[in-house]
Amino acid sequence: AQQVVKDIKNKPRPTEPKKVIVIGGGLAGLSTAKHLVDAGHIPIVLEARDLLGGKVAAWKDEDGDVTETGLHVFFGAYPNAMTLFKELDIEDRLQWKDHAMIFAKPNSKKREFSIFDFPALPAPLNAGVAILGNTDLLTWPEKIKLGIGLIPAYLFGQSYVEQQEGVTVKEWMRARGVPDRVTDEVFIAMSKALNFIDPDTLSMQCVLIALNRFLQETDGSKIAFLDGSPTERLCEPIREYIESKGGIVRTNAPVQRIITHEEGEYKDSVAGLLLKGNEVVSADYYVSAMPVDAIKKLTPDSWRNKEYFSKMMGLKGVPVINIHIWFDRKLSTVDNLIFSRSKLLSVYADMSETCNEYSSKDKSMLEMVFAPAKGWVGKSDEEIFEATMEELERLFPEEIKADGSLAKVEKFSCVKTATSVYETLPGCEAMRPTQLSPIPNFVMAGDFSKQKYLASMEGAILSGQLAAKTVQDLDIERSAKNYKLPSKLPERPFDASVEFANEVTAPK
Ligand code: FAD
């Protein structure tokens, strides 16, 4: 995994550094720009919003409390994320938790957890002991059926995992004689955590990619929380790194149109980008690091009939909601991530325990992923809050009542993402675009672009490395052949009075 980073650094520096515009300041865009400066090029990140981070973005309310777009955890099996933390010298910002997977037991009389405890043994022994040692979620016949089903994943690794792309979690389990109860009560938690959808729609490949890493790597399933707001504690150091080496990071710079050459030798290649306020920017190369739904909208008409783009049109982001509730007292939670196994909630954590910046000795703040959120993103925050409180009553029967008569709610905040990570349905793997595109000066990044991890922070970071390497390789190859890059549009400063569409045509 760290190989891509090494390859980038080991290649010769360009004699003439190239200007590369990176559209999107989420982790994929920031990772692309970080690795482009390492390659000796000059990236310019254009982020639409006024803050960096995309799906990891976080901001403060008037009390100084942080609201996050999503509850995020890092896994031991995230080598590219770990390399990035190390290179930025911020490894101490990862707060590692006890090696365990903790499942809530909704509808018990009192608040109870079912724990898979991973002992200090090498993989896959630690996972084996964790599974055998858990006696209340899986029966012995279920463990045996599941264990036999997972043997090929362990033995044949990624190639076997990729072959399981066409079936849902539920279909895969049924084909191996694993009862529906296991899917509906145990794998529901994993499906919702991985892709915010239920196991009867999620592709089994997604679950196997995660399980396979957990079985192969001793610390693969170990969980870390960042010690504060991802925008400040992770994106900011990446921005500083990029800028310290000559790159530029702009916020409030939404790209509104990709302008292409309409004819001639460079027909269809990018000539420039139109930003808000009629500003036009141009570069030698362009990298899209937008979410899939955004690049689908911005794809120029003349690109849409190319297989690369027409396939990508089949991908779409899944809705999800992140909700924070501040309570007036400490709840009996644990310092780790909890899989709720409840109908509306996916994972949750008491951030007053798990995260330094949000820590409190006497009050809990529960941060929860509300999924599947289809049918909910259009509802009011109050309706979502009420439904969450009903779920919490089932998870904390002695401490929380939906009517607020036990623990009192001081405030709540709710972030709805109508189209988040791509929905990992069976058959969608073939739709994922590679970083190298059929357009000579256009490269694709983003968690949905082809890389072996899931739609995750790790996947986004790796996609950025691969996109930077693609630009580097293209440029080395072209410089050797004295290839002339497509010409650029003359840049124009902000001028709101000019009607762009009628005025500029791409140079021939
Ligand atoms: P994004 O983060 O979506 O970044 C794309 C950027 O492009 C955005 O900043 C956007 O504003 C910008 N943009 C869009 N259009 C334009 C335009 N026209 N011009 C300029 N900029 C534009 N992953 C994990 O690994 N662990 C977790 O625990 C986890 N939990 C999650 C929980 C939730 C609720 C959510 C929503 C996601 C979670 N993820 C998790 C997934 C993870 O957040 C994403 O996979 C990753 O952050 C995606 O990064 P990205 O850069 O590919 O896309």
The Cα 400–Cα 158 span in angstroms is 43
Maximum CA extent, the chain? 74
| 54 CA to centre of ligand 1 in angstroms | 4
Q: CA torsion sign, 33 to 36 to 38 to 41?
A: negative
Q: Whose CA is nearest to atom 39 of ligand 1?
A: 456
Cα atoms in the Cβ-side hemisphere of radius 13 Å centred on 149? 21
Cβ atoms within 10 A of the Cβ of 361, count?
A: 6
> Is any atom of ligand 1 closer than 6 Å to the C-beta of 444?
no
Cβ atoms within 10 A of the Cβ of 433, count?
A: 21
Helix orientation angle between 3-10 and 457-480, rounded to the nearest 10 degrees: 30
> Is any atom of ligand 1 closer than 6 Å to the C-beta of 369?
yes
- 508 burial (CB, 10 Å; 0-12 / 13-18 / 19+) is exposed
- Give the pTM: 0.95
ipTM above 0.95, yes or no: yes
β-bridge mates for residue 305, sequence order: none
The Cα 463–Cα 81 span in angstroms is 11
| 454 CA to centre of ligand 1 in angstroms | 13
| 131 CA to centre of ligand 1 in angstroms | 32
- Is the omega angle on the peptide bond into residue 372 within 30 degrees of 0, that is, cis? yes
Closest CA to 65 of 363, 371, 405: 363
Atom of ligand 1 at shortest range from CA of 371? 34
Cα atoms in the Cβ-side hemisphere of radius 13 Å centred on 487? 11
Closest CA to 52 of 20, 21, 29: 29
| 458 CA to centre of ligand 1 in angstroms | 11
Q: For a substitution probing ligand 1, which of 27, 31, 47, 55 has the most ligand atoms within 8 Å of its CB? A: 55
CA 173, distance to chain mean position in Å, is: 26
| 123 CA to centre of ligand 1 in angstroms | 31
**pLDDT (tens digit, 0 to 9) for every residue of the chain, 508 residues total?**
578 999 999 999 999 999 999 999 999 999 999 999 999 999 999 999 999 999 999 999 999 999 999 999 999 999 999 999 999 999 999 999 999 999 999 888 888 899 999 999 999 999 999 988 998 899 999 999 988 998 998 888 888 998 899 999 999 999 999 999 999 988 999 999 999 999 999 999 999 999 988 888 999 999 999 999 999 999 999 999 999 999 999 999 999 999 999 888 889 999 999 998 888 999 999 999 999 999 999 999 999 999 999 999 999 999 999 999 999 999 998 999 999 998 999 999 999 999 999 999 999 999 999 999 999 999 999 999 999 999 999 999 999 999 999 999 999 999 999 999 999 999 999 999 999 999 999 999 999 999 998 899 999 999 999 999 999 999 999 988 888 877 777 765 544 344 444 333 433 3
Atom of ligand 1 at shortest range from CA of 72? 28
